[in-house]
Amino acid sequence: MMINTITLLLGVTLLYSTPMIFGALGGVLSERSGVINIGIEGMMTFGAFAGAAAGYYSGNPWIGVLCAALAGGVLALLHAVAAITCQADQTISGVAINLLGPALAVFFCRLAFDGSTMSYPVANKLPKIFGSGAEGIWANLNVDIMVVVALLFAVAMWFVLYRTKWGMRILAVGENPAAADTLGINVYKTRYACVILSGILAGIGGATVTLGIVAQFTQTSIAGQGFIALAAVIFGKWKPMGAYRACLIFGFSQALTVVLGGGAIAVPTEILAMLPYVLTIVILILFVGKSVAPKADGVPYVKGRR
Amino acid sequence: MEKTVKFFKKPITATLIAIFCGFLVATVILAVSGYNPFEAFGALLGGIFGRPKYVSNVIIKSTPIILTGVSVAFAYKMGLFNIGAEGQFIVGAVAANVVGIVCDFPAVIEVPLVLLAGVAAGALYGGIAGWLKAKYNINEVIVGIMLNWMALYFSNFVCNVERFHKPESDGAYAIHESGFISFFTNWKTTEAAAEFVQAHPFIGDILRTDANAGILIAIALTFAVSFLLYKTTKGYELRAVGSNRDAAEFAGIDVGKNMVQTMLIAGALSGIAAAIAIAGNNPHGITQLSAFESNGLNGLSVAFIAGGSPIGCIFAGLLFGALLYGGQSIQYVVGAPSEIISILIGTIVFLIALKDMVPVLIDKMGKRGVK
């Protein structure tokens, strides 16, 4: 019984943290290059829809993931044009992306699914790590393959950022773009690549919800995960593995509400549902003083201006 | 030539261009999706101006978002991004509702009591975000969003408390009638009213809506905020912190204290927006929320379209309310998803972010013209 609860808790934690991990990795990459990306939530929502729609019509969940990545990337491109080329207010642009993402998702959902704001359930979900035959505690731990992919992505991003030439360039652009420019690094190109990649990651994160956890797009598929991912970026000190761990903590608090919410204890579900959000604030109070954003985060770069 | 350059450099021009381009994008999306955009926008106009009732409903819809817009614009003046307006609105509604149920006084006491409950709850909620920012330097955007979700679940919790839950509904009891600010609440149900409506169809149509005093309160508060910002020492301090925090601190302005005060006021504005909605509109109580109603989040867009000016929020709020209310008829009449309005609004806000480009572009074109 005990081992059952623990494995269930672990399984649900991994499941729920995965979409946030993709979003948070996107946030890390974008902000490390010096562009604040509040629009992660909107990119995840659009990706969640694109993933479910493509997954439904093609019957292949991987095509769904690919389309979700594209959808997130397209929205990110808009943000990149605004933030990098037009030197726009990145917060306003991000808010606009958060308005556009869900609006486009539901608009196209109504066109693709007979006027409904929900997609039809996809026939083939993303595969599980132990296949479909797992039983007992293995069923509890039989999470989506995306859980593994998220971990691989986090490790890969850590390696690229801290162990390769490209990574050093990205970090340089985010800390001191003028110096990076003098060294011959193309600040604009680097930032464009990072912002678009962040959208691609956010889109994939959205698809892990609609092709894995629930197998369907609804208006509440993405309900704050993108914003919690942003909190994870800060809590994780703008580092890939830090953000990964932070997402696990937030995922754990959500898992607690799911596992405990089954009537096991006498707390109203509404109060229990607040837990992840309360925890986020508490964690930020305890740790945020020690984390410092990349120096040029949110500052548009203009060639020749100091 | 110089005159045209000057014209294009005015902020209002850039805003109008952004709105125009937003409509262009929406036109293209509608056309590509196989709908006639002109029919759709015709339906939109009809849905806004078609009947006196529609205009009245637009104003009712605009009232809360004018105030949340002013709330966001006010905080933005000192560099704070009040995305938490949504949560402040929700707790304001809960407090106004609870006080309106528990207390039963004559209107002269009940109405102020209900409104003040909203103000207090909203201010407290906004103050938390301001205090966390001032004391721990925690990003107010993230705190705001977390507080929004907590408010949503808290509202649903209160909805289901036995003392407040209205049986066989998904909401709480309405507040006592003495707390209503709707026009002619009691008279509306009398026979004399029925006769009057027959005789005056125009006014009668308006009376069929929840027409209430909220818009007057909203406009008065907007002017008060504008006065506070531009004509008082406090307002000067707030704007000084907003434009250069270090310089303001050096000049002896207590930045932290100003942050908390700003967020208290911003929260109070969102809170009273909610209290007005509870006191003015049916069902005069909160209902179970499955997602955000976006009264606060729309305030962000309103504030940006208004270019951060409180007075501008009145016009931006009315535009926004008109689009949201009239947009529903796009779906009835043309069959196109009403989300086209959300896309339109999102595009406008996106272009507003780019609007600093307009003067730069004009300068470039001007130089080319001289050569």
Residue-by-residue DSSP string for A76-111: HHHHHIIIIIS---HHHHHHHHHHHHHHHHHHHHHH
Is residue B50 domain-resident? no
- Residue A23 belongs to some domain of the structure: yes
B176: CB partners within 8 A, 6+ apart: B100, B101, B103, B104, B110
User: Is there a contact between A284 and B157 if contact means CB atoms under 8 Å apart?
Assistant: no
Neighbours of B186 (CB within 10 A): 10
Is B18 domain-assigned? no
Does residue B12 lie within any of the structural domains? no
Please spell the DSSP secondary structure of chain A, one letter per residue: -HHHHHHHHHHHHHHHHHHHHHHHHHHHHHHHTT---TTHHHHHHHHHHHHHHHHHHHS-HHHHHHHHHHHHHHHHHHHHIIIIIS---HHHHHHHHHHHHHHHHHHHHHHHTTT-SSPPPPSSPPPBTT-S---THHHHT--BHHHHHHHHHHHHHHHHHHHSHHHHHHHHHHH-HHHHHHTT--HHHHHHHHHHHHHHHHHHHHHHIIIIISSS--TTSSSSHHHHHHHHHHHTTT-HHHHHHHHHHHHHHHHHHHHHTTTTSSS-HHHHHTHHHHHHHHHHHHHGGG----TTTTPPP-TT--
Residue A296 falls inside a structural domain:
no
Q: Is residue A295 part of a domain?
A: no
Structural domain contains residue A97: yes
Helices (H), B33-106: 37-49, 52-77, 85-102
Report the residue from B139, B337, B350 with minimal CB separation from A111. B337
Question: Given an 8 Å threshold on Cβ–Cβ distance, is B160 in contact with A268?
Answer: yes
A278 vs B contacts (CB less than 8 Å): 146, 150
Q: Which domain holds residue A184?
A: 2-287
What distance in Å separates residue B87's CA from the closest CA in chain A? 13
Residue of A nearest to B307 (CA): A92
Q: Give the Cα separation of A126 and A168 in Å (integer).
A: 34
CB A21 within 8 A of CB A85: no
Record the pTM: 0.89
From B137, B147, B349, residue closest to A95, measured CB to CB? B349
Q: Which of B35, B150, B320 to probe the A interface (max A CBs under 10 A)? A: B150
What are the tokens at A248?
């696990």
Q: What is the pLDDT of residue A291?
A: 61
In a domain, A299, yes or no: no
Q: Helices A240-260 and A145-163 meet at what angle, rounded to 10?
A: 160
Task: Write out the residue range of the structural domain in which residue B158 sits.
Answer: 63-329
The answer to whether the CB atoms of B301 and A274 lie below 8 A apart is no
Question: What is the domain count for chain B?
Answer: 1
Whether the CB-CB separation of A212 and A146 falls below 8 Å is answered with: yes
Q: Is A230 on the interface with B (CB under 8 A)?
A: yes
Closest CA to A144 of A127, A132, A124, A131: A127
Number of structural domains, chain A? Answer: 1
Distance of CA B354 to the CA centre of its chain: 22
pLDDT in tens, chain A (306 residues): 678 888 888 999 999 999 999 999 999 999 999 999 999 999 999 999 999 999 999 999 999 999 999 999 999 999 999 999 888 889 889 989 999 999 999 999 999 998 888 999 988 888 888 877 777 777 778 888 999 999 999 999 999 999 999 999 999 999 999 999 998 999 999 999 999 999 999 999 999 999 998 889 998 888 888 988 988 898 888 999 999 999 998 899 888 888 776 655 667 878 888 888 888 888 888 876 656 778 888 888 887 665
Q: Does B114 contact A at CB distance below 8 Å? A: no
What local confidence, expressed as pLDDT, does residue A266 receive? 65
CATH of the domain at A275: 1.10.3470
Residue B20 belongs to some domain of the structure: no
Q: What is the pLDDT of residue B371?
A: 43
Taking 50 as the pLDDT cut, the residues of chain B under it are: 371
Mutating which of B94, B354, B358, B360 best tests the A interface, going by the most A Cβ atoms within 10 A? B354
In a domain, A194, yes or no: yes
**Residue A87 touches partner B, C-beta closer than 8 Å:** yes
In a domain? residue B169: yes
pLDDT of residue B366: 67
